[in-house]
Structure 1
Amino acid sequence: MASAPQANLPLFYQDLMPLNTRDHATWRARGAQSAPWLIGQHAIPLTVEEFPQAARHFPIIFASGDNPVPLALMGLNEGVNVFVNEEGKIDQPVYLPAYARRYPFMLAKLMPDSDDLSLCFDPSSGLVGEFEDGEPLFDGDQPSEATKQALQFCEQFEQAGQRTQAFIDELKKHNLLMEGEVAIQQTGVDQPFIYRGFQMVNQEKLREIRGDVLRGWAQSGLLPLLYAHIFSLDLMSTIFGIQAEQGKAPAPVAVPAL
């Protein structure tokens, strides 16, 4: 590791370093053959425009609390990601959220009193360094094509994040989010497994939304995104079943004798 992990870094990132020609003129970026940073990560942040693709593969929920970030559930329990094996290989076809695809790069503020964002990277990732292989990060004193593509992807991700926040603000404005609870009954087990600690759209309140608001949501594309989230919740039992097949299902809760 290049240095000690910094406090309050986003998920996956152990360190963060601004990319610059002075320090990284000869550095290169390697393509990832595996994704060890995904091992054991069960909930990955998701942008709202990813809902239609993500909803085909895993449940979409919202984090609890005052900042309900959309999350793609790649496992139902802490420390479980059913799509990534012990070597960090994604061993089955699955949509990979943009949050994970941008790693090890991200845009970050270098000065707390400035809104300017700079392209940074995680030097502990093993994907950026003084390698003989990989794509160069600079062409002389100018960013290389690989760096331009990384910057463009990160900029698009930031823009998607702003649209996601606008989506969340609309849900909060209409008080559409509620504390979620899902019960999954496993064959041969008396008591269902109960999952809580997340938020979901309240379908009763959704049905009560005024017609003019619903028409506006349909025209803007917001309404289909709401239903992508709602329909994706059916995949909770699918993910649970994969956990059981992989031997990663939680232990049944013992029922006390009367």
Structure 2
Amino acid sequence: MATAPTASNLPLFYKDLVPLSSVDHADFHARPLDSADFLINQHAVPLTSDEFVSASRHYPIVFSAGDNPVPLALMGLNEGINTFVSEEGKLINPVYVPAYIRRYPFMLARLRPDTDELSLCFDPTSGAIGKFDEGDVLFVDGKPSDAVNNILEFCKNFEEAGQRTGQFVEELQKADLLMDGEVSIQADGYEQPFVYRGFKMVDETKLRELRGDVLRKMMQNGILALIFAHLFSLQLMREIFAEQVKAGKMPAVTVAPTTA
């Protein structure tokens, strides 16, 4: 259920990236998007560990398959199905929106491989930034506007949250707590259950068998609370499945495609 990068190695949602420039974009404005078309066919969105508690009320939280697991908020159980977005790209119900979505079309990116310096970039194909008459001014007298500074601060916070998320996953792997996940859902009218694989989850048996000192450390540094948020959220997979049934978006196969 993990989301693979595009052929051009751009992050999920992004079709192109250009650095924001006070010269090239001096008269550009940023405006809110009327719809999130980029979400319509996305069933999984990256999530930071900072968001686990808020997101766990609305989405099942799983980890991507592969050697470098990434937390994901599931918006659908099958690729191409998003139960939270209409065919017009509108959120069906007001829910918590992951920061990865709210960040789009901006992001901090490394422009040169020989430096760790990050620059504020944006996706010029998004339709949110351009030579519009309306929207927020991006530059004032050649300097970033308050709107750009706020965006930059949000992106910096997101990057920091991403680093904390990486450390969280490393701790899970160090304790050997992640296992290949599997969820079986028996739907009315079907003889065979729908079996979903292709993701990782915390192994509750190994969690119960952890040494007391390890558990104490996890409780003190907040990791245990994140684990429980993840585990409690998994019950929402059946609710997501029910929403797919209600919307007539039943999967065509009984085993979810595995995407590394």
SS of equivalent to 1:120: strand
Partner of 2:97: 96
1:230 maps to a residue whose letter is L
SS of equivalent to 2:24: helix
Separation (CA, whole Å) in 1 of partners of 2:210 and 2:50: 22
SS of equivalent to 1:178: strand
Identity of aligned residues (%): 60
Is it true that 1:205 corresponds to 2:210 in the alignment?
no
Separation (CA, whole Å) in 2 of partners of 1:165 and 1:6: 24
Partner of 2:258: none
Partner of 1:117: 118
CA contact (8 A) 1:42 1:74 kept: yes
Partner of 1:32: 33
- Taking a change above 3 Å as real, the CA distance of residues 120 and 6 of structure 1, as seen in their structure-2 partners, is farther
2:155 maps to a residue whose letter is C
What is the deviation of 1:190?
1.1
CA contact (8 A) 2:33 2:127 kept: no
What is the deviation of 1:188?
2.0
SS of equivalent to 1:44: strand
Deviations 1:193-235 (A, max 9, x none): 0000000000111011111111111111110100000011001
SS of equivalent to 1:217: helix
- The unaligned stretches of length 5 or more in structure 1 are 254-258
Separation (CA, whole Å) in 2 of partners of 1:176 and 1:126: 42
Which protein, 1 or 2, shows the higher relative CO under an 8 Å CA cutoff with sep ≥ 6? 2
What is the deviation of 1:252?
6.4
Alignment of 1:62-211 (within 5 A): 62-211=63-212
Separation (CA, whole Å) in 1 of partners of 2:128 and 2:84: 21
Separation (CA, whole Å) in 2 of partners of 1:200 and 1:187: 26
1:15 maps to a residue whose letter is D
Partner of 2:221: 220
Separation (CA, whole Å) in 2 of partners of 1:197 and 1:118: 34
SS of equivalent to 2:179: strand
Partner of 1:238: 239
What is the deviation of 1:251?
3.8
How many residue pairs match? The answer is 249
What is the deviation of 1:33?
2.3
Deviations 1:137-165 (A, max 9, x none): 00111100110011000000000000000
Separation (CA, whole Å) in 1 of partners of 2:154 and 2:103: 7
State the Cα RMSD in Å. Answer: 1.1
1:177 maps to a residue whose letter is L
Separation (CA, whole Å) in 2 of partners of 1:149 and 1:186: 46
Separation (CA, whole Å) in 1 of partners of 2:236 and 2:156: 31
Separation (CA, whole Å) in 1 of partners of 2:66 and 2:102: 26
Separation (CA, whole Å) in 1 of partners of 2:34 and 2:167: 35
Separation (CA, whole Å) in 2 of partners of 1:6 and 1:248: 27
- Taking a change above 3 Å as real, the CA distance of residues 252 and 42 of structure 1, as seen in their structure-2 partners, is closer
SS of equivalent to 2:171: helix
SS of equivalent to 1:194: strand
CA contact (8 A) 2:178 2:202 kept: yes
Partner of 1:256: none
CA contact (8 A) 1:191 1:252 kept: no
Report the TM-score when normalising by structure 2.
0.94
